[in-house]
Structure 1
Amino acid sequence: MGFMDFLRGQLIEVIEWLDEKGQLVHRFPAYDNAIKMGAKLIVRESQVAIFVNEGKLADIYGPGTYTLTTQNMPVLTALNSWKHGFTSPFKADVYFVNMSNYTDLKWGTTNPILLRDADFGMVRLRGFGNYSFRVGNADIFMTDIFGTKKEFTTDGITGHLKSMIVSSITDIIGESKTPAVELASSYEEFGELAVQRLQPRFEAIGLILSSLTIENLSLPDEVEKMIDRRTSMGALGNLDNYMKFQTAEAIRDVANNPGGGAVGTGAGLGAGMAFGQMMGQMMQPNNVGQQPSQQQPVQQQPQQPAPPAQPSTTEGQACTNSSCNHILQPNEKFCVECGAPRPQKRFCTQCGHEMNANAKFCSECGTPT
């Protein structure tokens, strides 16, 4: 088996690589790292081929087809001091670097971000989104990140990139001091600022941050419930008018439910009294068209002198003589003005209600006298 591999190493004619999903760097599997002079090198679009000789980066090839000779391999030729072209194999590592854009990579906060909010105080914020990047400088990436591995995928670097992204977004949100209820309106601005800040750090390792998107910044459930309650209160508008409307609705419901019993009757009476008080306050001149918080203070009016007392008619009964207006005292059996006898108390034979002396019908039940 080893001998067959050796023969295949001597007969290699084409050096190429078909991109694989998620793979950034691939080393060409030449037997004993021996590549035949005169072989064909095929570099596809969005690829770069790099020759490494004894741990040093030598020649770099962009997209195209090349015949490996001493003329188009100047660095590798100089490193090996080849003065004459020959067809014997030479030893070198060939790496293909994928320069295409890697999209839809996810980032998210592992732990909540603690921030200070003007409305809710200290809040914990979580966020997630996606980003895309590509290799911008193959030399720097191979030297600082790749090393001497056989292959390199996005899984080997996304953890590091995610930490950089979360750290930058945390700083941006904290410095902006944007209220928690207004974060959703700033996702795009935060993403653009994050790209500007992160680009130099990406370029330092040979990468380019193509885009970054913030999909969501979420608050704890307790804070979201508080926001929902505040939104509900705002939707009600004028709370004073809303309470009056609710009271009127309650009175209507009680009136439409006559079978509610004593409890329902008591609730209806209470609601009616409350509604009457509110209507009385609303009809006061100083309160018309004003909110409770906007009512003007009631000015003190100067006290007027009390009117003279009028003679009371509750001490006795009126004389039965229609032409006499004398009021009989409790101890008078006859009118001292006209001599008419004192009227006797009369009671309804049907309901027992006390009636006036001249009444023809009971004022309580209508029974004729």
Structure 2
Amino acid sequence: MGLWDKIAGEFIDVIEWVDDSEDTLVYRFPTHNREIQMDSDLIVRESQQAIFVYQGQVADVFGPGHYKLKTENLPVLTTLQNWTRGFNAPFKSEVYYFNTRQFTDLRWGTPNPVTLRDPEFGVIRLRAFGVYAIRILDPRQVMSEISATSAHFRVNQIEDQLRKTIITRLSDFFGEADHPFLDYAANLNEFSNALHQALQPDFARYGLGLESFFIENVSLPEAVEQAIDQRSSMAAVGNLDAYTKFQVANSIPDAARNEGGLAAAGAGAGMGLAMGQAMGGALGIGGQQSTSAQATPAQQQIMVRCLKCNQLSPETAKFCASCGNPLRSD
């Protein structure tokens, strides 16, 4: 390398940043121990802003475009360094690029359940998660509040703070809204919009814009969700008494198909009859027994057998009705 090339290498004549990452918010152009020449090219691409910083002070800000650096377009830096108009000597300054594109699909969620008082379920522990998107609105504010003089500031370096801000506002919002949990689950879009508005001032303090905010899901602990499912099932059944009678009626054909029929479900014919009467009562048939049922307990006559013709006759008969043989000795 010749002397001229070495000297030329100590000066910067093109300033630009090609972003090859997906999460860089702020990038400092490498100018360590190097000076920027007047009439150098400054290239600021779409979705970028460039800021010149002199001795820790924010100087001139450039939006997208191609610039030739002169005292005319560096008014703040010219004042800070006491340059005269038409100053052409090389100068030292830090140059920071700010990525102003939208950063999407950033995730948030409650690391621990949020305890709330619900009008319907009492005290509940609610979980929620979703996504949001941000972009840089004020590079000066970003530098003063979060990135400072970092050479390479990424989104993940501020994500934790943003998530904590979201959870704080979410807990406060749900606590003050005093809506039942079922309203949250059914109106996620409305609550997302309301929280979006509530969070924007918090993000603006960092120089960031909250471009979008969505609640994807709100949920309760598994045990509480099971209780809600049971409650829904009871509501679907409706009249529990009518449902019970219906279930008993459906069970009768199944019992009849079993070996031994209905009587096999009990201990003999008497038990079978008792079960049938119980079913009849459950079905609302009880109160009026049939004529055959009323005749069941009627008295039964004792019969005696004739020793001559082997025929049966009532106990009160003196002679066999078939052959006339005496049945009693009295």
Specify whether residues 106 and 269 from structure 1 end up closer, same or farther in structure 2 by C-alpha distance, changes over 3 A only.
farther
What residue number does 2:176 align with?
A: 175
Please show how residues 13-52 of structure 1 align to structure 2 within 5 Å: 13-19=13-19, 20-52=21-53
- Deviations 1:266-320, CA, capped at 9 Å, x for gaps: 5865653332113346899xxxxxxxxxxxxxxxxxxxxxxxxxxxxxxxxxxxx
Does 1:109 find its partner at 2:110?
A: yes
- Structure with higher RCO (Cα < 8 A, 6+ apart): 2
Q: Is the contact made by 1:251 and 1:271 (CA closer than 8 Å) also made in structure 2?
A: no
With 61-70 and 244-253 compared, the bigger mean Cα shift is at: 244-253
Specify whether residues 228 and 348 from structure 1 end up closer, same or farther in structure 2 by C-alpha distance, changes over 3 A only.
farther
Q: How far, CA to CA, are the matches of 2:311 and 2:59 in structure 1?
A: 124
Q: How far, CA to CA, are the matches of 1:253 and 1:353 in structure 2?
A: 44
What residue number does 2:82 align with?
A: 81
Q: Tell me the C-alpha RMSD between the 2 structures.
A: 3.1
For residue 258 of structure 1, give the secondary structure of its aligned residue in structure 2. Answer: coil
With 193-202 and 211-220 compared, the bigger mean Cα shift is at: 193-202
Q: How far, CA to CA, are the matches of 1:269 and 1:237 in structure 2?
A: 31
Please tell me the residue identity of whatever aligns with 1:237: G
Specify whether residues 269 and 187 from structure 1 end up closer, same or farther in structure 2 by C-alpha distance, changes over 3 A only.
farther
Does 1:253 find its partner at 2:257?
A: no
Please show how residues 87-106 of structure 1 align to structure 2 within 5 Å: 87-106=88-107
Does 1:273 find its partner at 2:274?
A: no
Please show how residues 87-236 of structure 1 align to structure 2 within 5 Å: 87-236=88-237
Q: How far, CA to CA, are the matches of 1:167 and 1:93 in structure 2?
A: 37
Gaps of 5+ in 1: 285-344, 362-369
Specify whether residues 355 and 257 from structure 1 end up closer, same or farther in structure 2 by C-alpha distance, changes over 3 A only.
farther
Using the TM superposition, give the Cα deviation of residue 260 of structure 1 relative to its aligned residue in structure 2, in angstroms: 7.1
Please tell me the residue identity of whatever aligns with 2:147: F
Using the TM superposition, give the Cα deviation of residue 262 of structure 1 relative to its aligned residue in structure 2, in angstroms: 7.0
Using the TM superposition, give the Cα deviation of residue 38 of structure 1 relative to its aligned residue in structure 2, in angstroms: 1.0
- Deviations 1:103-125, CA, capped at 9 Å, x for gaps: 11011111110111233221111
User: TM-score if structure 1 supplies the norm length?
Assistant: 0.73
Percent identity (aligned): 44
What residue number does 1:72 align with?
A: 73
Give the greater-gyration-radius structure (CA): 1
Please tell me the residue identity of whatever aligns with 1:272: G
Please tell me the residue identity of whatever aligns with 2:15: I
Q: How far, CA to CA, are the matches of 1:125 and 1:249 in structure 2?
A: 42
Specify whether residues 270 and 131 from structure 1 end up closer, same or farther in structure 2 by C-alpha distance, changes over 3 A only.
farther
Please tell me the residue identity of whatever aligns with 2:185: A
Count of residue pairs brought into register by the alignment: 300
For residue 111 of structure 1, give the secondary structure of its aligned residue in structure 2. Answer: coil
Which stretches of structure 1, 4 residues or more, deviate above 4 A after TM superposition?
3-7, 259-263, 266-271, 281-284, 345-357
Q: Is the contact made by 2:280 and 2:286 (CA closer than 8 Å) also made in structure 1?
A: no
For residue 161 of structure 1, give the secondary structure of its aligned residue in structure 2. Answer: helix
Q: Is the contact made by 2:256 and 2:262 (CA closer than 8 Å) also made in structure 1?
A: no
For residue 90 of structure 1, give the secondary structure of its aligned residue in structure 2. Answer: coil
Q: How far, CA to CA, are the matches of 2:9 and 2:313 in structure 1?
A: 130
For residue 59 of structure 2, give the secondary structure of its aligned residue in structure 1. Answer: strand
Specify whether residues 121 and 33 from structure 1 end up closer, same or farther in structure 2 by C-alpha distance, changes over 3 A only.
farther
Using the TM superposition, give the Cα deviation of residue 74 of structure 1 relative to its aligned residue in structure 2, in angstroms: 1.3
Q: Is the contact made by 1:254 and 1:268 (CA closer than 8 Å) also made in structure 2?
A: no
Please show how residues 334-353 of structure 1 align to structure 2 within 5 Å: 347=304
For residue 162 of structure 2, give the secondary structure of its aligned residue in structure 1. Answer: helix
Q: Is the contact made by 1:115 and 1:122 (CA closer than 8 Å) also made in structure 2?
A: yes
Specify whether residues 351 and 32 from structure 1 end up closer, same or farther in structure 2 by C-alpha distance, changes over 3 A only.
farther
Using the TM superposition, give the Cα deviation of residue 178 of structure 1 relative to its aligned residue in structure 2, in angstroms: 1.8
Q: How far, CA to CA, are the matches of 1:162 and 1:248 in structure 2?
A: 58
